[in-house]
Amino acid sequence: MTVGSGQVYVVTGGCGFLGSHLVRMLLEHEKNISEIRVFDLHLDESLRTLSNDRVKVRLISGDISRLEDVREALRGSHLVIHTASLVDVWGRVPASKITEVNVTGTMNVLQACKEEEVQYLVYTSSMEVVGPNIHGDHFYRGNEDTEYRIYHKEPYPLSKAKAEKLVLEANGAKIKGGKLLYTCSLRPTGIYGEGHELMKQFHRQGLRTGRCVFRAIPPAIEHGRVYVGNVAWMHLLAARQLQIHPSTLGGQVYFCYDSSPYKSYEDFNMEFLSACGFKIIGSRPLVPYFLLYLLALLNALMQWLLHGFFTYAPILNPYTLAVASTTFTVQTDKAEKHFGYQPLYAWEEAKKRTITWVKSLEVSRKDLKDVGEKGNYCCN
Ligand SMILES: NC(=O)c1ccc[n+]([C@@H]2O[C@H](COP(=O)([O-])OP(=O)(O)OC[C@H]3O[C@@H](n4cnc5c(N)ncnc54)[C@H](O)[C@@H]3O)[C@@H](O)[C@H]2O)c1
Ligand SMILES: CC(C)CCC[C@@H](C)[C@H]1CC[C@H]2[C@@H]3[C@H](O)C=C4C[C@@H](O)CC[C@]4(C)[C@H]3CC[C@]12C
């Protein structure tokens, strides 16, 4: 295989949900690269087959929390897109582990950039570095400059906020050889699309309840969502333009946005699930908020009691309830102004692709039979 003399990009967490879309996006749309190094703790061998005459996809097994692993992966590369992270708001992973991967891991990426003379770093942050906060303050179609009471207590948002701060502070730092490091941070809202693990869980749950989804959150609560393909596209453009206009993009944060509609978390999921015959029951929440909150508290108590025996980590806990019950949506054109970002996929296309994928879950589910034919269609 002949591989050209283009740039070498490293994608940490490249085998994850966003990471694998990003790798495919780079292969298809970035003409200036000859090698993509996919660095991950758990490798997805299928990505290796994506290598072509122009670009080699190299899978590198490593742990972001080990500096040596990161240094080795970055050696001789031009740019890093750092998406590796432990995404956990359910208490499945100890807080210390989240800090080790998300904060120490990011320190390692920065250190490795400095030691291995890598000048450009695009960091995948999260809307959670801003909010929603636990006070329930709504962030209604805000932008990067909107004032908000930022308050972090949970390990995941805390770790993302700390990591983002480190990334931004490192912008302009001297690296080995005397050149400067340029960094920027992208903050997706809730990402959806092909491969979204949580959507698989909601789909599975919906099958158990006869394709009925029982409304829990008032429909007026807006939750920001963005299509994974557009998040990947935005990373590609940021990486490209950070090298061309480092003084414009360097040290900046950008929310990731597209034309996905502003809806509640549940109504948004229904955009896809309804194509599989799912129905949402109730135009208002069926259970009063205080009962849902009690249930969330009970789940937290059970988690604490069972800790040491096994990990009890249901989807609903006080924190996920607070996030789902607080409006958090963005409306901004900062990325368009700074680096010409416009969504690559219109809402109709993003929706179509996601529906196709959700439908494919139906045929691929081995345990579909366990649910029982009758129960599947109680709403129809
Ligand atoms: N999913 C969302 O809705 C969402 C929203 C906003 C921001 N984000 C951010 O986007 C990024 C990607 O998230 P995702 O949803 O694709 O998550 P994901 O879990 O699918 O991907 C994360 C990847 O990081 C890898 N990883 C974890 N620990 C590692 C370690 N110690 N060393 C090397 N690799 C390690 C995992 O194996 C995985 O492949 C994360 O930084 C996350 O914080 C996600
Ligand atoms: C109350 C129940 C009926 C519904 C519970 C849904 C809940 C699990 C969902 C709602 C919002 C979701 C978060 C949101 O989309 C954004 C992010 C940021 C990202 O960085 C990590 C994932 C996270 C926290 C989503 C997790 C799942 C949440 C809380």
Nearest CA-CA partner of 95 in 167, 187, 159, 170: 159
Best mutation site among 15, 17, 268 for ligand 1 pocket (most ligand atoms within 8 Å of CB): 17
The per-residue pLDDT for 152 is: 87
Residue 15 backbone dihedrals phi, psi, to 5 degrees: -100, 0
Report pLDDT for 379.
Answer: 33
Percent of the chain with pLDDT over 90: 91
Chain-centre distance of CA 164, in angstroms? 14
Contact 90, 153 (CB under 8 A): no
Distance of CA 15 from the midpoint of ligand 1 (Å): 9
pLDDT of residue 377: 33
Provide the b/e sequence for 204-238 (b: ≥16 CB within 10 Å): eebbeebbbbebbbeeebbbbbbbbbbbbbbbbbb
Side chain identity at residue 132, one-letter code:
P
The answer to whether residue 375 scores a pLDDT higher than 60 is no
Task: Evaluate if residue 367 carries a pLDDT over 70.
Answer: no
* 323 Cβ inside 6 Å of ligand 2: yes
Could you count the other beta carbons within 10 Å of the beta carbon of residue 68? Answer: 11
The closest-lying atom of ligand 1 relative to the alpha carbon of residue 160 is: 43
pLDDT tens digit string along 159-197?
Answer: 999 999 999 999 999 999 999 999 999 999 999 999 999
Residue 355 CB–ligand 2 contact under 6 Å = no
Q: Is 130 in the pocket of ligand 2 (CB under 6 A)?
A: no
- 4 pLDDT tier (thresholds 50, 70, 90): low
**Looking at this protein, which amino acid is placed at residue 95?**
A
Of the candidates 123, 156, 192, 341, the residue annotated as catalytic is 156
Confidence of residue 1 (pLDDT cuts 50, 70, 90): very low
Residue 378, pLDDT score: 32
Average pLDDT of the residues in 321-339: 97
Q: How many residues does the chain have?
A: 380
326's tokens: 């607080």
What angle separates helix 347-364 from helix 197-208, to the nearest 10 degrees? Answer: 60
3-state secondary structure the chain: CCCCCCEEEEEECCCCHHHHHHHHHHHHHCCCEEEEEEEECCCCHHHHHHCCCCCEEEEEECCCCCHHHHHHHHCCCCEEEECCCCCCCCCCCCHHHHHHHHHHHHHHHHHHHHHCCCCEEEEECCHHHCCCCCCCCCEEEECCCCCCCCCCCCHHHHHHHHHHHHHHHCCCCECCCCCECEEEEEEECEEECCCCHHHHHHHHHHHHCCCEEECCCCCCCCECEEEHHHHHHHHHHHHHHHHHCHHHHCCEEEEECCCCCCECHHHHHHHHHHHHCCEEECCCCCCCHHHHHHHHHHHHHHHHHHCCCCCCCCCCCHHHHHHHCCCEEECCCHHHHHHCCCCCCCHHHHHHHHHHHHHHHHHHCCCHHHHCHHHHCCCC
pLDDT of residue 366: 52
Confidence of residue 5 (pLDDT cuts 50, 70, 90): confident
Q: What local confidence, expressed as pLDDT, does residue 315 receive?
A: 95
Mean pLDDT lowest for which of 200-209, 226-235, 274-283, 358-367? 358-367
Q: What is the pLDDT of residue 365?
A: 62
How many whole angstroms from 17 Cα to the centroid of ligand 1?
Answer: 7
pTM: 0.95
- How many angstroms does the Cα of residue 108 sit away from the middle of ligand 2? 28
Q: Where are the domains of the chain?
A: 7-196+225-262+330-346
Q: How many CA atoms lie within 13 A of 270 on its CB side?
A: 17
Which residue's C-alpha comes closest to atom 38 of ligand 1?
A: 16
Average pLDDT for the chain: 94
- The answer to whether 257 is a known catalytic residue is no
d(CA 85, CA 231): 16
Residue 291: pLDDT over 80: yes
Q: How confident is the model at residue 368 (pLDDT cuts 50, 70, 90)?
A: low
Q: Which ligand is closest to the CA of 223, given by its number?
A: 2
Query: Phi/psi at 344 (nearest 5 deg)?
Result: -80, -30
Ligand 1 atom closest to Cα of residue 65: 31
Q: Which of 15, 20, 45, 85 to mutate to test the pocket of ligand 1 (most atoms within 8 A of CB)?
A: 85
Q: Which residue has the tokens 């030691």?
A: 115
pLDDT at 363: 77
Where residue 134 falls among pLDDT bands split at 50, 70, 90? confident
Whether 257 shows a pLDDT value over 60: the answer reads yes
**pLDDT confidence bin for 369, thresholds 50/70/90:** low
| Test site for ligand 1: of 12, 87, 187, most ligand atoms within 8 A of the Cβ | 87
Mean pLDDT, rounded, for 284-310: 95
| Ligand 2: centre distance to CA 227 (Å) | 15
Instruction: Tell how far the Cα of 159 is from the centroid of ligand 1, in angstroms.
Output: 13
ipTM for the predicted complex comes to 0.98
CATH number of the structural domain 7-196+225-262+330-346: 3.40.50.720
